[in-house]
Structure 1
Amino acid sequence: MVFTHPIIYVFVLALGIHILLQRTQSFSIKKADLELLLFVTFLVVWLNFILYKKAFLFHGLSIIWQNIPAGLMANYFTELTFLQAIYLIGFIPLLLGVFSAYHVLFKQKKKSTTLVLSVALAFFMLLLFKMMTLEIGFIFLSIMLVILSARGFQHINEYFQQTKFKWFTTPLFILIILLFIFTSVFQAFISSEDVTQNSPTQGDIDALLYLRDSSSTHAT
């Protein structure tokens, strides 16, 4: 069921952040949006409590972190650092995405961009509170930041169009594309090479298959 899938919590959190941002930006909040938030939140909590009641009662709030022991928590949910964000997302999407977020929050307010920003903030909060692994969280966060970065470049383009440096727009666009290729595409290629090198060799696979076939089930 879609209402018991973990991604539904991101939807609820993003919807709540979206309404909160609209409130702070003096947008008119539709009554239907509030009703949708309350209804979905109640439905998700109710369905998950019914399905996982025994797990909630036995493990308590630790079920949010998959009931992982505190000693292993640091290995599974690593600390979020700025350098990790640059490495996993890319310098250009992160820079333009943050710039676009700042522009939407404090300069030119727009509902459609605020919605994308709300989803990005939802994933960021889940990463910050270690409710999602870095690999999965940054995949979704990077998608939102790429969308925001396109809006960020549009803001930069509009600024230069109002100055004497209109001619600089095209070279700047080419420079951003080249930097994006170097910091994101090339970096992704290096990461894929690391994964390939750390993968088990055919000899390792053959040895494991031999152990499986030649040893008993309860052997250690």
Structure 2
Amino acid sequence: MKKRVKWTLLSLFIIVVIIRIILAFLTPGFTYESYFHLRQVDHITKTGFLNYNDDLSYGGRTLIFLPFFHYFMAFFSLFLPLTIVAKILPNILMASITLTTYHISHSITNDENSSLLSAFIVGFLPILFSTNSFTVETLFLPITFFIIYVFMNIKRNTNNSFGKSNSLWLTIKRKKYLYLYIISFLILSLTSTLTFLLIIGFGIYMLLSLMENKKINKEELEIIIFSLFFFLWVQFIFYKNSLLQEGFSFFWQNVPSGIITEYFPKVSIIEALVLVSTIPFLTGIFVAYRSLFKLKNKKSFLLISFVISTTLLAWLRLIRFKQSLAFFGIILGILFAPFYLEMEKYFQKTKLFKFKEFILPITIILLLLSTTIPAINASLKQDTPTEEEIGAFKWLNENTPTDSKILGTLEEGHLITYYSKRKNIMDDQFRLIDDVDKRLKDINSLFTTHFQTQVLSLSEDYNLKYLVLTPSAKKKYNITEFNYLSKQCFGLIYDKETKIYEVKCELK
């Protein structure tokens, strides 16, 4: 890599990191689902173990999830406060995808300018600018694309023809990438169940290669088979009880039927254009089509296989729309590099050749307008609780009995366990819960019903002591207050933008 390119790439990485961290600290708190992971990391730093037997979630239950992300973050929280680690480290990890993007793009095009443009696109993809997200995806995505880069290098070093004098160097280099792949894949398998997206992508890659009569070498096949069986073994160890208990619902993460369309919505082209950005979306689709059906470029086959696997799994509602779109967007950003290279070659063959020197600056300006502004806007519009809402949940920790159970929305379930340190009725950890549909229906009833007797009956069923009505809950249910309130049965104990009521009555 030339010195100029090295410094440009490093500068881009630093700029992306700085912008992401600034935006993270401008927004108070974290996204709602982040609080589950914050609580687990906090538990590790205090005890050394994950909290698989949770006394607060659902009023007390057994949890099931993969552990690596939480131990990884807990290590850094030994040296810095957890909230600082959670704001900084995920953003550094997400920014590191720009570096991997450059190297993957360069291995396809062998062109520096187009690869830098791809790195820029991925660095400012709006779908990736959840700067206050402390979730498994912030580790999963960087490792996944590092694995793809390493796999491509194993292929390249296996397929290249070297003389005898270089055979030792070839062996050392291939082994280096092989060991990197194995270590990275082991980590990924212990990080997220989304690793199966990678496995299916490899399977589609093999299928496409066979259809086009392209040779699959023995080493590639061994790596893919190893990956498949190791992944299945890890998932069986962690999730066998969940699979036996939930049956087919296991594949949809036991999500309640009432919100399954929210978790796995149908693919929206308009939303995809906004969250991925118009230019990389359209150019990536164009390159994928040409590579697959016209040019039959083997270098792009692997990436296109992941495009197909992501689209297929999203269509089957086996992965959430935004998770699939993040993966999809990064690949389309990488595929911008061959598009830019083709565009340059086209200009050279036409009368527009004299304008060639303007292609790069014009492209940079267009990308700045179509990616950076939407990315910053996406960060500022993240779905996070307000400081006032957080203050209300902290108040509950200081002013209610420790065995209390509290009503909040589904999204606020983790705020209750993290800030209030009290029991909730429900949160988004659905696995191993038999009555998720009933609980969701009951929570909706507690927020929307007009009948006081129904609320008191449900309060007794769940041993519910406090009702929290935040501005977010009002917006979600389109209400201004609970419709069943009476001073005799519901005492207002916290009166700000967020209202907290104590349940005083019982059904006789």
Q: 2:265 matched to 1:78? A: yes
- 1:134 and 2:321 aligned: yes
Cα distance in 2 between the residues matched to 1:135 and 1:40: 25
Comparing 94-103 with 113-122, greater Cα deviation is found at 113-122
Partner of 1:188: 375
- Deviation string 1:4-50 (CA, Å, 9 cap, x unpaired) is 53243122111111112222333222244334333432333344234
* One-letter amino acid of the counterpart of residue 396, structure 2: L
Corresponding residue number in structure 1 for 2:279? 92
Which residue in 2 is equivalent to 1:25? 212
Q: Distance in 1 between matches of 2:374 and 2:238?
A: 42
Q: Take 1:201 and 1:46, find their aligned partners in 2: how far apart are those partners?
A: 42
Counterpart position of 2:337? 150
Report if aligned partners of 2:263, 2:321 keep a CA contact under 8 Å in 1: no
Q: 1:203 aligns with which of 365, 388, 391?
A: 388
Following the alignment from structure 2 to structure 1, what is the Cα–Cα distance between the partners of residues 393 and 234?
42
* Cα separation, 2, equivalents of 1:156 and 1:8: 34
Structure having the larger proportion of residues in strand: 2
- Aligned residue identity for 1:6: T
**Aligned amino acid, residue 45 of structure 1:** L
When structure 1 is superposed on structure 2, of 37-46 and 186-195 the one drifting more is: 37-46
SS in 2 for 1:165: helix
Q: Percent of aligned pairs with the same residue?
A: 29
Runs of 5+ consecutive residues of structure 1 not aligned to the other structure = none
Give the AA of the match of 1:75.
E
Greater CA radius of gyration, 1 or 2? 2
How big is each residue's C-alpha offset from its partner over 1:166-210, in whole Å with a ceiling of 9 and x where there is no partner?
Answer: 234343443332222222111112222222xx6433333222222
In structure 2, the CA distance between the partners of 1:48 and 1:201, relative to structure 1 (3 Å rule), is closer
Q: Does 1:166 align with 2:357?
A: no
Equivalent residue letter for 1:141: F
Q: Tell me whether 1:122 sits opposite 2:318 in the alignment.
A: no
The whole-number CA distance in structure 2 between the counterparts of 1:194 and 1:65 is: 28
> Is 86-95 or 178-187 further displaced after alignment?
178-187
TM-score, structure 2 length as denominator?
0.40
CA distance in structure 2 between the aligned counterparts of 1:53 and 1:202, rounded to whole angstroms? 40
Q: What residue identity is the alignment partner of 1:76? A: Y
**Cα distance per residue 1:152-179 (max 9 Å; x no partner):** 1112222222222223434344333222
Alignment-derived partner of residue 41 in structure 1: 228
TM-score when scaled to structure 1?
0.87
Amino acid at match of 1:125: L
Name which structure has the greater RCO, CA cutoff 8 Å, separation 6+: 1
C-alpha separation in 1, matches of 2:318 and 2:328: 14
Is the contact made by 1:100 and 1:151 (CA closer than 8 Å) also made in structure 2? yes
After superposition, the C-alpha distances for 1:51-91 in whole angstroms (9 at most, x for unaligned) are 42222122112111111122210122222111011011000
Determine helix, strand or coil for the equivalent of 1:155: helix
Higher helix share: 1
Cα separation, 2, equivalents of 1:54 and 1:200: 34
Retained in 1: the 8 A contact 2:264–2:317? yes
User: Structure 1 residues 207 and 54, CA, compared in 2 at 3 Å: closer, same or farther?
Assistant: closer
Contact 1:104 1:114 in 2 (8 A): yes
Q: CA deviation at 1:104?
A: 0.8
Higher alpha-carbon deviation: 198-207 or 73-82: 198-207
State the alpha-carbon separation in 2 of the partners of residues 99 and 161 from structure 1. 20
Q: Distance in 1 between matches of 2:337 and 2:358?
A: 16
Structure 2 counterpart of 1:174, one-letter code: P
**Whole-Å Cα distance in 2 between the matches of residues 205 and 44 of structure 1?**
38
